[in-house]
Amino acid sequence: MSNIADVCLSPDLIHLFSLKNKVVVVIDIFRATSVMCTALNHGISEIIPISDLSELNKFDTDDFLIAAERDGKIVQGFKFGNSPLTYLNRPEIEGKKLVLTTTNGTRAINLCKVDAGDIIIASFLNITAVVNFLKNKEKDVVVLCSGWKGQISLEDTLFAGCILDKLIQVGFLSESDSSFLSRQLFNDSKTNLIKFALQSSHKKRTENLGIDKDLRFCLQLDKFDNVPIYKNGSVVLH
């Protein structure tokens, strides 16, 4: 009996999915889950995903690095936002805990944390590691796209199509129309993923924010060979 892999293209559709005993793969390609993969591979020991800005003041800045993003920008008063590049080559973050709140990605994690069997974090940066993890897990899978304020996003849909293709190749069944259209879209983008993905509304929305380098960084395949997993309120490397 094959396991089933499906995709939820917006957090606002998550009520349509039963998550019990399933692995939920949370993605927010531009940029929260790409940031999580990067930060955990560059010294951060764990990440606490927070939905509301108001919760940030519970955390002491002596013990935690705090990163806050809304609408693509660092929230005023904070040093770190949602750029994966910020976490590269920074010896001072080694071993630190990161408290992270973003427009979409951290909300998606918190939406499914009550019902899901397991929650893992994926991006293009660790896609092969995630596929291997899911293959060994032998459970049904729901890929949860974070989107943009509830709207479906191109880059998350492309990633969903890419990982569902790979999961089908290792024996999963994936027959929903959302799966079909994600995979069709990914296959259209195959010859030039970067050019295709940069047609997204996120790119247009953030054009003046100078984060083009970030977006290109997020579209690299398999820079990291591990899987962040959400456990007891924190994301840590598996």
CA distances from 41 to 51, 187, 223 (A): 23, 29, 10
* Nearest distance, CB of residue 50 and its own copies, angstroms: 23
Would you tell me the crossing angle of helices 127-137 and 154-169 to the nearest 10 degrees?
A: 50
Does 168 bind its own copies (CB under 8 A)? Our answer is no
Among 83, 157, 174, 206, binds its own copies (CB under 8 A): 157
Does 201 bind its own copies (CB under 8 A)? Our answer is yes
Question: What residues pair up with 230 in beta bridges, in sequence order?
Answer: 119, 235
Residue in 76, 71, 7, 109 with CA at minimum distance from that of residue 201: 71
Does 191 bind its own copies (CB under 8 A)? Our answer is no
* Nearest distance, CB of residue 96 and its own copies, angstroms: 34
Does 180 bind its own copies (CB under 8 A)? Our answer is yes
Does 104 bind its own copies (CB under 8 A)? Our answer is no
Residue in 83, 60, 27 with CA at minimum distance from that of residue 217: 83
The dihedral over CA atoms of 81, 9, 224, 200, expressed in degrees to the nearest 10, equals -60
Query: Could you tell me if 85 and 223 are in contact, meaning their C-beta atoms sit under 8 angstroms apart?
Result: no
* Nearest distance, CB of residue 15 and its own copies, angstroms: 8
* Nearest distance, CB of residue 223 and its own copies, angstroms: 25
* Nearest distance, CB of residue 27 and its own copies, angstroms: 14
C-beta of 48 vs 111, nearer to its own copies: 111
Residue in 55, 109, 53, 111 with CA at minimum distance from that of residue 81: 53
Does 152 bind its own copies (CB under 8 A)? Our answer is yes
Site residues for its own copies per CB under 8 A: 9-10, 12-13, 15-16, 148-154, 157, 175-178, 180-181, 184-185, 188, 199-202, 204
